[in-house]
Structure 1
Amino acid sequence: MEIYPPEYSKLWERCTARGFLPKRRSQPIYSAKPKYGPAIISLLKKKTDMAGKRKLIGKTRKIAYRMLHDICRILDEQDIPYVLEAGTLLGIIRENRLLPWDTDVDLTITADYAYQLREAVQHLERKGYRVKTRSYNQDLGPFRKGDARIVKIQTRQFYFFKGYSLLDIFIKYKSGEKYYWMIDDKNPVIKCCPAVYYENRTSYEFDGKLFKVPADYEEYLEYHYGKNWRIPVKEWDFRLDDSCEKEEMKAEQQSAISFFDKPPKNHSS
């Protein structure tokens, strides 16, 4: 059967750019056996990208659990230290689950192991995942143009269709006694936290497996979320609501650069 793309499909442009599909919309984009056609049509007719849009419930929750197991096992096999991060760590420590109102799973790796992570990508891809790396586009503080910023891991559907984008690995860079990172492409925010939380690690059992977490994970959660971290908060702005030191990047960049030179603050535990 011949399949034609819907006019609104952003997937058309992406696939055309990569040479997978013909450029003229009047042409059929795929010739498929009837048994495969409905599944492909279903993918093409989705009006929104699945990346970052689904909460961790139902089928998405099962996929997220599998991804967490797969990726952490590969990192362990490749001797790449990591820690569970942010809402992922919060849900596991506080509630022994991934938080159902979250939309992804977060890990942190320090920049010392960024090169090893690149080499581990082939193992992730052999496992069936798509791996995308976003990098810094300019020198800024401890970041250098081209340095990896975040690695986004997605499931696949068929050969070139992107599935669920459910796991992010943040690459964090040390300056002094802190690690720095940047979040959000459209409205960037630079954050930092004490190095001890990423350099001192321990194992924590969850869902039948041992995962790496900060050695003093309760102190870290208090640092990150405040003294009331044990009280659930479902409405949360991941950019600005946490307690980490942070600064929004301005157009002229100067304020963000000065952020790296600020004296350390005392955080009560």
Structure 2
Amino acid sequence: MVDGIWLYLPHPVEQFLAQVLKAKFTECDYQGAQAYLSQTLPEGSYLTRNGAQVLYQAKRVLDHLGVLFWISGGTCLGWYRQCGLIPYSNDIDVEIPIQHYSANIVPAFLKAGFKLVHVKGKRSDSYQIAMIANNIKFDVYFIYEEKTHRWVGTTDSTNGKKYKYILPKFDTCWTDFKGCRVRVPCPTLPYITAYYGENWNTSVKRWNWRRSNSNAQKNGVWPKDEWKIKKSNRF
């Protein structure tokens, strides 16, 4: 209190000041979204009605742990293309740098009411966590850094085949997405184009994660004794 007035300061101050240097804010392309939606019949879905609340719940968990993340994949595409969630999608995607992995992530989500769907891969290769809340799947992909690019991986749980998605180098910016302050890849277009190709602005309702991504590569097969796919409450 100073001169009878309560003053509020960010805590911890050092962390706040460190973020200021990289706290660039960007908005979705409202004009582009209007143009896209004008050519598409308006659609609503369970995800568009309830997904923002699940994203907010997940953000609270990860922020409390101090884990860096950004919206990714189809969730990032929905933000960039139509300033919203894609109605025919059935999940929310985020990416986390593998160096920000914490053994507390899953327990914290479970404590917050999420249920574990599966854990795939290893921390050294193609690590992925999937959870569910309010009947909405929440996918956490861990991203790996190489000299010339980044990549995320996943595993086909039916046969142990691995897939790698190659991404360009990028920074992150802040945005307001459905009332939730989250990070997005920045610049966003090269990221979106890497995942969805030059036709990213065209709706594709039947998406095959093994083949549809323009940046998908086969990445070998786990030996059967190393699949280590932990499943719970099948989605």
Instruction: Give the TM-score of the pair, scaled to structure 2.
Output: 0.66
Does residue 150 of the first structure (1) align with residue 128 of the second (2)? yes
Per-residue CA shift, 1:158-190, capped at 9, x if unaligned?
xxxxx6251110123334433341243225342
Does residue 69 of the first structure (1) align with residue 56 of the second (2)? yes
Does residue 201 of the first structure (1) align with residue 188 of the second (2)? no
Identity of aligned residues (%): 19
Structure 2 residue runs without a partner (length 5+):
1-42, 225-235
Q: How far does residue 212 in structure 1 lie from its aligned partner after superposition?
A: 0.9
Letter of the aligned partner of 2:213 in structure 1?
Answer: D
Per-residue CA shift, 1:113-166, capped at 9, x if unaligned?
112xx31433322321123551437x9xx52xxxx72111123xxxxxxx6251
2:157 counterpart (177, 181, 185): 185
- In the alignment, which residue of structure 2 is the partner of 1:244? 215
- 1 CA distance for matches of 2:136 and 2:52? 13
Does residue 95 of the first structure (1) align with residue 88 of the second (2)? no
- Select the structure with the greater relative contact order (CA < 8 A; seq sep ≥ 6): 2
Does residue 121 of the first structure (1) align with residue 99 of the second (2)? no
- 2 CA distance for matches of 1:73 and 1:84? 14
- 1 CA distance for matches of 2:221 and 2:143? 21
Q: 1:174 to 1:124 in 2, by over 3 A?
A: same
Letter of the aligned partner of 1:77 in structure 2?
Answer: H
- In the alignment, which residue of structure 2 is the partner of 1:78? 65
Does residue 227 of the first structure (1) align with residue 214 of the second (2)? no
Structure 1 residue runs without a partner (length 5+):
1-55, 156-162, 254-269
Q: How many residues align?
A: 180
Q: How far does residue 216 in structure 1 lie from its aligned partner after superposition?
A: 0.7
- 2 CA distance for matches of 1:107 and 1:251? 24
Does residue 130 of the first structure (1) align with residue 102 of the second (2)? no
Q: How far does residue 70 in structure 1 lie from its aligned partner after superposition?
A: 0.9
- In the alignment, which residue of structure 1 is the partner of 2:98? 111
